[in-house]
Structure formats: structure tokens, C-alpha cells
Amino acid sequence: MTVELNKEDLICLVKGTSNMIGYSLMDYLQPIGKLTGFPNEHWVWDDSELKKLTEEQLYEIYCHIVKKPNN
């Protein structure tokens, strides 16, 4: 199956990974979001920074977040 995603779709895909982001990804994602809300921490994306990224960069970020160990 082939699925074509536009930039808005990719931004939604990336933002949907928020619950998977922990301390190990903070340095990688720091320019486009931050961990906030101590003691109930959660990831907050910077929408304006996400919109500056190319479709390829957004897909790369998504893949980096969802990759499983040993892949």
C-alpha cells in the first residue's frame, strides 16, 4: 500500500508521537519542542518551528521517534 502525505499530514504524524518522547530524545528535538509541566511533564511542540521543516525532515523526525531498539 502506498500512502501520500502532505506537509500538514506529516506535522500531525510527528505531533502524534508526543507520548513517546522522553529524556533520551530531548537533545535531538530541542529546537522544535520542549518538555514542560513539572511534575506532570509532557512534550510541547513549537508549531512555527515544525512548519519550517521540509517534508523529508518531518518524516525523519517521525522515524527517529518511533524506531524500536535493535532496528
- Asked whether residue 69 carries a pLDDT value surpassing 80, the answer given is no
C-alpha 60: how far from chain center = 9
Q: For residues 18 and 43, is the Cβ–Cβ distance under 8 A? A: yes
Task: Give pLDDT tens digits for 8-33.
Answer: 999 999 999 999 988 889 899 999 99
Locate the domains of the chain by residue range.
7-66
Q: Which long-range contacts (CB under 8 A, 24 or more apart) does 39-48 make?
A: 42/18, 43/18, 43/19, 45/14, 45/15, 45/18, 47/11
Q: What is the mean pLDDT of residues 36-51?
A: 92
